[in-house]
Amino acid sequence: MAIDFGRAAQGIATGYLQAKIRNTEANDALKANTLMRVGETLIGETIPNAIEAEKVRRTNYDLLVGEYGPNAAEVFDINKFTVDDASMAQLRKLLEENELNKEALKDANFATDFNTRYNTRVKSAEEKYNPILKQLGVDNIGALGYNTVEALVKPQEMDTITTKDTQTDTVTTQEVPRDLSSTLLKDYLTPVGDITVLGNPNLVAGAAASYRGFDQAMNFVDGKLVSLKFGGNKDIEYNAFTSTMNDVAPMFERDDGKVNLQQIAQAADEKLTSQTQGTINTMVSKYNVLSAKDKSGMDLSAIEKTQQLYGGDDFSESFNAQNPSDSDKLTAIAQHMGSLGTTAEQHYFALSFPVNVTLSDGRNVRNILLRRFTFSN
């Protein structure tokens, strides 16, 4: 029987093509499934997380602008101290151990600012993710809320130079690029020692013992303080109190160099209350100490429910009028905290802010303030 090679070849070709089609369909399905999984991760996790991280970074930057000024905040951000709670805590520790040279920062000139660095990060994300997004039917990363805020190129700072030609007695002026300043934080820090106006910690503790229930945590033996055992956040309040004593001490120093510690303690108590609860009371309406009953109905940890906490209705009308936007409010609060004498006083202020007051976008103000400290909740 003769073999019909033409029909056989046709059968083989048909089988090959069918297999090829099935293989192509399988590959297409695999690619589609892979793209779907990548897209779900990208749109559901990666990009939203990046956007949230940028919001945190911007919030931290704005707080630092309010406290230390824009140039200091630029150096902090360039060195990535604004990226999260841990980096802010590290910055706080550096600033506790060193004095910031604000004079050197006053006229500093940097190649970039916060917005240009943000835009660079967005551009990098666009180059990385846009090809995938286009396959998913999304025009670009901006459609998901990750947008640039201004031109990518920052205008170069210029100085005006005036020169005089002594032969022709003519004066000419020209603009030349300003030299760029160092972006290393260490170039703006000066180590400081633990210098205090008040010398003897036993005498300081003895004077402070009469206030705010501090004596309940103190153990004296033969007039010497042998231990301090504070519960909750009382240690922060004590540190703020003694720091404030040191702030006001020069006002009570006599010609012979001696001071009246009782007078200093009383003045410190009044000053700490005024700059903390007194100031917050002007920012927040119905500012009050929360009772155990109040705290029982709030989403607080067991430890927090044992601590003295404060509540309030919302920002006061006068504070809202002076600071209409969320950014204005955070800047005003940060500026006040920056005016306080020490980190301990700033930390006590943050802890004393109402636990239930939020910004218009739902962010808790107290939590934002506490992010700046190593001990943040």
DSSP 76-142: HHHTTTTSSHHHHHHHHHHHHHEEE-HHHHHT---S--HHHHHHHHHHHHHHHHHHHHHHTT---GG
In the prediction, which pLDDT does 336 show?
A: 94
Whole-number Å distance between alpha carbons of 257 and 375: 36
At 9 the pLDDT is 45
Q: What is the C-alpha radius of gyration for the chain, rounded to an integer number of angstroms?
A: 31
Rounded Cα gap, residues 345 and 327, in angstroms: 23
What pLDDT is stored for residue 166 in this prediction? 57
Judge contact between 91 and 81, C-beta under 8 A.
Answer: yes
User: ∠334-249-375 over CA atoms, to 5°?
Assistant: 40
Output the pLDDT for position 107: 84
- At residue 18, the pLDDT reads 56
Residues of the chain predicted below pLDDT 50: 1, 3-6, 8-10, 12-14, 16, 149-155, 159, 176, 192-197, 374-377
Long-range Cβ contact pairs of 91-97 (< 8 A, separation 24 or more)? 92/343, 92/372, 92/373, 92/374, 93/374, 94/185, 94/189, 95/343, 96/343, 97/191, 97/192
pLDDT at 194: 38
Q: Which helix (H) or strand (E) holds 23?
A: helix 5-41
Alpha-carbon distances, residue 81 vs 11, 91, 97, 227 (angstroms): 70, 6, 16, 35
Tokens of 11: 């059968």
pTM check: above 0.95: no
Find the distance separating the first CA and the last CA of the chain, reported in whole Å: 91
Q: What is the pLDDT of residue 185?
A: 87
Q: Is the separation of the CB atoms in 96 and 372 below 8 Å?
A: no
Which residues sit opposite 102 in a β-bridge? none
pLDDT value, residue 53? 86
pLDDT in the model for residue 150: 44
Residues 42 and 134: their CA atoms lie apart, in Å, by 12
